[in-house]
Amino acid sequence: MIRKQRSAMGLGALLAVLAAGLAFPAGAAADETTADAPKVNLVIDVSGSMRERDIDGQSRMAAAKQAFNEVLDATPEEVRLGIRTLGADYPGDDRRTGCKDTAQLYPVGPLDRTEAKTAVATLTPTGWTPIGPALLKAADDLDGGTGSKRIVLISDGEDTCAPLDPCEVAREIAAKGIGLTIDTLGLVPNTKMRRQLSCIAEATGGTYTSVEHTDELTEKVNQLVERAADPVVTPVAVEGAERCADAPALKSGLYTDREEFGQERWYRVDVAPGQELRASVSVAADRAVNPDYGVLLRAVTVHGREIVRGEAAGNGRTDVISTGLRYPKPESDGGGGDEETEAETVCLRVTNSFSAASGVKTSPGLPLELTVDVVDGPSQAADVASFGLGRGWWLLGVLVVAGFLAGMVWGWLSRWRVAVWRTN
């Protein structure tokens, strides 16, 4: 009897182990599936001013609730969505307490539409407008995973919790290189609010939109949530060095970095014989800068000799300045030894001449986006020789020959006319 019980227990343990072994891979597969899921955090202003009744005859809060319900119905299944509030809980006058008033109303994750709508229905305009603290917490809510990350901030006024400047917060979030975009929506026309919300969006490559009607709000939030679900190329965060020898080695791709005012950043790319390096860089002024600025992108050898350069200048009329370059490396002729068959390390140096306006913080650095593309280049050395000025020499030769022949014909005609005139 005891042996039978032991046998039964052993068989049960074995089945349990087998079941667990089968279950783990399924769980791992689920984790891999959700790891790259797009995430969106809707951040809603629930401060006292949201009581104002100036959006289609209803309060701003009522318009936001209606828009949220429609957005929740239309959210794609693959999107992990959350809702965070600011100013929803503290009705008092203590600034220190009011500026901590932000909470996760619905956690970022698979969407239960009924539960999320129930949570939104409980919101009542209450307190302060701590936009800066809310953005910091919202970024933490989106931590983890490799999919796209987006914050959609909806507010009807400026932050009331400075000196934690929301623009500086947005720049700090962007400087982390986590690929997080912040889009902002202003519910009523207001110059100061527009400037602040625009600054927040620009710092992370997002957009600012002013909305005055419920349907506009619904349409814009829907658009931003759907955009998060679209496949995008997420820039890879990289940290350039102060010299080529210490620079990170890059392959074809899109990269993001930060560059201080007047600073230079170095990166390295290996280019094999017969390949062509194409590189471009954009530097954005995400804060007030002095007019007259430029950006220089140089490709140099490891010994410091310049190969090619690209440069651009601005005069204050645009917030982003870009330039690029191309370098085709000739194919080996097969008789030059190993040096002609090995890849060449090309050093990319990015320099800017931006200067900060008076009273503007210089840290963190300006957003920099670098595109690197190494492709198959011209197959023959002769093709490389004709790249650029080579074609100009051929044209010059044709013009010289044509001019010479035209001169001979004209001289012959002139002599013939003189001879005819003398005969007559």
Look at strands 275-284 and 253-259 and give their pairing.
unpaired
Give me the CATH code for the 35-229 domain, please: 3.40.50.410
Mean pLDDT of 106-112: 95
C-alpha span between 171 and 286 (Å, rounded)? 8
- Residue spans of the domains in the chain: they are 35-229, 236-384
Look at strands 306-314 and 80-86 and give their pairing.
unpaired
- Running DSSP on this structure, what letter comes out for residue 188? S
pLDDT per position as a tens digit, 357-396: 888 888 888 989 999 999 887 554 444 444 444 445 566 6
C-alpha span between 321 and 101 (Å, rounded)? 39
CATH topology (fold) of 236-384: Jelly Rolls (2.60.120)
Q: How far is CA 239 from the centre of its chain?
A: 15
C-alpha span between 130 and 227 (Å, rounded)? 27
| DSSP H or E stretch at residue 375 | strand 366-376
Of 181, 189, 232, 172, the residue nearest 207 (C-alpha): 181
C-alpha span between 120 and 106 (Å, rounded)? 9
Percent of the chain with pLDDT over 90: 49
Tell me how crowded residue 32 is: count the other CB atoms within 10 A of its CB. 9
Of 187, 182, 183, the residue nearest 217 (C-alpha): 187
pLDDT of residue 121: 95
pTM, whole model, 2 decimals?
0.63
Residue 219 one-letter amino acid? E
How sure is the predictor about 23, in pLDDT bands with cuts at 50, 70 and 90?
very low
3-class DSSP state of 218: helix
Q: Which residue has the tokens 């000799």?
A: 305
Mean pLDDT of 281-292: 88
Tell me how crowded residue 223 is: count the other CB atoms within 10 A of its CB. 14
Which of 73-87, 221-235, 289-303 comes out lowest in average pLDDT?
221-235
Token reading at 405: 């022949």
Mean pLDDT of the chain: 83
Residue 399 has pLDDT above 90, yes or no: no
- Running DSSP on this structure, what letter comes out for residue 356? B
Q: Are 41 and 142 in contact (CB under 8 A)?
A: yes
Q: Which of 177 and 214 is assigned the larger pLDDT?
A: 214
- Running DSSP on this structure, what letter comes out for residue 234? P
Dump the DSSP string for 56-90: TTB-HHHHHHHHHHHHHHH--TT-EEEEEEESSS-
Q: Which of 198 and 22 is assigned the larger pLDDT?
A: 198
Q: Which residue has the tokens 């829907």?
A: 222
C-alpha span between 268 and 282 (Å, rounded)? 17
3-class DSSP state of 299: strand
C-alpha span between 150 and 91 (Å, rounded)? 29
Q: Which strand ranges, in their side-by-side order, compose the sheet holding 236-237?
A: 236-237, 253-259, 366-376, 275-284, 320-328
Which of 2-11, 148-157, 208-217, 279-288 comes out lowest in average pLDDT?
2-11
- Running DSSP on this structure, what letter comes out for residue 316? S
